[in-house]
Chain A
Amino acid sequence: MKDLMISRRRFIKNVAMVAASISALPVVNAIAGVLTDESRMDDLEQAVFAKMLKIALPTESSSLVDSASLPVLSTIEGALLAGMAPNIRQGLRGGISYFNEGSVKSFGDRFVNLSDADATRFVDQWSASAEPPERALSMGIKKLTVLAYWAIPSTWGPLGYDGPVSDKWNLSSLGNTPEPTI
């Protein structure tokens, strides 16, 4: 029993670390790194992010840009996973797999196989969970997904947000400030 407890503590600690690495993942790397085979999304990761995108941003009956029409997954992959430190990348795979399996207990199937309604309920359930790793994973994977969507400038139009303005407003650069003379 004692061994089991220790093993559970270790497991929770590891999951917590993975969850932390996910919620802390970088945003969008404009200097996209080299996408190696190790950093590329595997089929499961593709499926988890695709499912999350579908349920987090059900744009069909809204004014928002259809999430399926945008390169959200390739933004996650090319801008986020490329160049990621190998240990973080490995942790991310583990976290996504744990998250995908997490719904089996309450919903009887893996996250990617749930109906959209159940998948939505599962994500909200874990966001309110008493277990910090579950909260962190749910919050982190969803954050990454929606971030990748909103990082694409064509999503801003329906919000009324006009984006960068310096060029549009013809603002001139003041350049480097003269060195003080005293």
Chain B
Amino acid sequence: MSIHNNKLNIKTAQDIQRPKLTIDADVVVIGSGAGGAISAYELAKQGKKVVVLEAGPYVPSSEFKEMLAIAMGTMYQDEGGQSNTHGDVTVLQGACVGGSTVVNAALCFRTPDYFLNLWRDEHGLGNLTSERMSVYFDKIEKNLSIEPNVKHETSIGADLILKGLTKLDIEPGIAKRNIRDCAMTGFCFAGCKTDRKQSMLVTYLPWACNHGAEIYADTRVTRIMTSNGQASGVEAEVVDPKTKVVKSQVTVNAPIVVLAAGPVQSPIVLQRSGIANSSGQVGKNFACHPSLSVTAMFEEEVDDFHGATHSLYVDTHTLPEEGGYILLNALQEPVEASFQAEPGTGENYVAYMEKYRNSIRLITLIHDKNVGEVRYTDGVKEIIYEVDDHDFESMKEGLKFNAKILFAAGAKYLYLPTSDRTVINSVEEIDSVIDSLKNEPARYRYTSFHPQGTCRMGGDPKNSVVNPYGETHDVKKLYISDASLLPTSIGYNPSETVYALSHYIADEIIKANFS
């Protein structure tokens, strides 16, 4: 079926009145983010009836408020409150139609060959060669307008940081983003109100609907059904987003299931279903690229409010042997600035916020080990994760590098995102202050935008969940297509990796089932 009106064919809880609903389809896709949307489009294009179930709400871009606090409450997982069990790593994920692609900063990197080679050598993924993946990277870059930022796509803060890099003779990286004609509002994290960001909401999802795909928002999958070792569909609940009351029980009968609920929810769906875990690896190997923001205060007002959310990065130390960290500039609105630094309680805090106009930030993000786990016990989700000691040393080196650049950019003093007041007043203080930091829970204000690795892909069914073609080792016709596949963290924003892998897996599904 081909409709080609390029609009979403979507139903929400408001549209569904019947207490029970049964749908027959060729493919059911769980999740509408990067992996789900790309799978839905590629499979619908084959003439298959595709149904996409999204647990989050549908928020059209015309309703985006350009306020982070409101976006968190409407479009992020757990209203922006998802964290590890210690509560010191906020794990941000989109939870709306379009998933994280709606609220990310659109920064794109191809998977470094270093990791493709590592995955080949240590995880049996010889199929993901640089040559093979290049085909998918080329395709996705064309489809999503992934281009290097042009000269004006920057921000005042990024320009200051660039001065610091130039002074220190450090090579800057110019960001590539999936954006058309960026309006430079700086509200990527709150959703792009004028549809410049090429999220799934304005690309692959309407394209999938052009070929007959149907999307159900507010619809949370509770179980994947199987029959004779093969996927046969899903059970789900339609939940009113306001009252949290279950409005309808949905059954989708489909011989192919694509699980793309994201690296936290996908293992939970498998755990709730009690399937695909003969390896014991479901939920294990969680990594999340923990990041810390250093806030720099300048003598003069900077007004780093609008522009490209991210435009500049430094990846001279990103591969593990080089240090394992990357630096990224980012705008921040008052709500973020209000908790990213700890100037002390009371008058010190007021003085800090009064100088908000004088502040910029530079983020240090680390390539972390897959030491965490996502568990679902007695109806409660847990992300068990502590920053590894070795990774914390990478973070300290990254913070030192970060601080040197900010001082070279002209900063007068810096705040570190610690639980209590930690200020660096000069270049001379950098090493002593950062060397004194200890790896302790609830001591730092970590943010993770990149959870990954909980249903890892690999050649050996004993230590991986998904085979090299995207199908689970244990359950036939059950495919996984999201960042949970990544066997290791990759140190760079993983969105383009997920886009490319999802295309690759869609091709494998077509080859195995529809050729």
Contact = CB atoms under 8 A, between A and B. Distances in A.
Interface of A: 16-17, 19-31, 33-34, 55-59, 62-64, 79, 83, 87, 116, 120, 123-124, 127-128, 132-133, 135-136, 138-140, 142-143, 146-147, 149-151, 153, 155-156, 158-166, 169, 171-180
A164 B67 contact: yes
A173 B73 contact: no
Contacts of A19: 87, 442
B334 A169 contact: no
A29 B79 contact: yes
Given A58-B350, A127-B419, A136-B419, 18 more contacts: A26-B79, A26-B81, A28-B70, A31-B57, A63-B354, A132-B443, A135-B442, A136-B86, A147-B69, A159-B354, A161-B305, A161-B334, A163-B66, A163-B67, A174-B195, A174-B202, A176-B195, A177-B198
B22 to A, nearest CB: 29
A22 B210 contact: no
A171 B345 contact: no
Contact of A173 (B57, B61, B440): B61
B513 interface: no
Contact of A31 (B74, B195, B333): B74
B207 interface: yes
Contact of A127 (B180, B338, B342): B342
A27 B143 CA distance: 34
B435 interface: no
Contacts of A24: 78, 81-83, 87, 90
B65 A120 contact: no
| Most central of A79, A149, A150, A178 by chain B CB within 10 Å | A150
Interface of B: 4, 6-7, 57, 61-62, 65-70, 72-74, 76, 78-88, 90, 142-143, 145, 180-181, 183, 185, 187, 193-196, 198, 202-203, 206-207, 210, 241-244, 301, 303, 305-306, 333-335, 338-339, 342, 344-347, 349-351, 353-354, 356-357, 380, 419-421, 440-443, 445
Contact of B349 (A25, A140, A146, A153): A146
A132 B350 contact: no
Given A34-B243, A146-B338, A159-B353, A140 B73 contact: no
Contact of A83 (B72, B86, B88, B244): B244
Contacts of A164: 65-67, 185, 187, 193
Chain A CB count within 10 A is highest, among B4, B83, B198, for B83
B374 to A, nearest CB: 15
Contacts of A63: 354
Contacts of B351: 62
A176 B70 CA distance: 23
A162 to B, nearest CB: 7
Nearest to B75: A30
A55 to B, nearest CB: 6
11 contacts: A29-B74, A29-B79, A64-B350, A140-B87, A147-B335, A166-B193, A166-B194, A175-B202, A176-B202, A177-B203, A179-B206
B353 A176 contact: no
A163 B68 CA distance: 10
A92 B462 CA distance: 41
Nearest to A142: B345
B402 to A, nearest CB: 22
A124 B183 contact: no
Contacts of B57: 31
B420 A127 contact: yes
A20 B202 contact: no
B72 A28 contact: yes
Nearest to B422: A128
Contacts of B333: 161
A159 B195 contact: no
A62 B193 contact: no
A20 B344 CA distance: 21
A56 B346 contact: yes
Contacts of B68: 27
Q: Which of B183, B187, B243, B335 has the most chain A CB atoms closer than 10 A to its own CB?
A: B335
Given A27-B81, A159-B357, A171-B183, A176 B6 contact: yes
B442 A132 contact: yes
Name, among B76, B87, B349, B354, the residue most crowded by chain A CB atoms within 10 Å (CB to CB): B87
A39 to B, nearest CB: 11
Contact of A150 (B6, B81, B338): B338
B349 A31 contact: no
Contacts of B357: 159-161
B66 A31 contact: no
Contacts of B442: 16, 19-20, 23, 132-133, 135-136, 139
Contact of B70 (A30, A123, A138, A162): A30
B86 A31 contact: no
Interface centre among A27, A59, A142 (most CB of B within 10 A): A27
A166 to B, nearest CB: 4
A173 B62 contact: yes
B80 A64 contact: no
B142 A57 contact: no
A150 B333 CA distance: 10
B83 A23 contact: yes
Contacts of B193: 164, 166, 171, 173
A178 B178 CA distance: 15
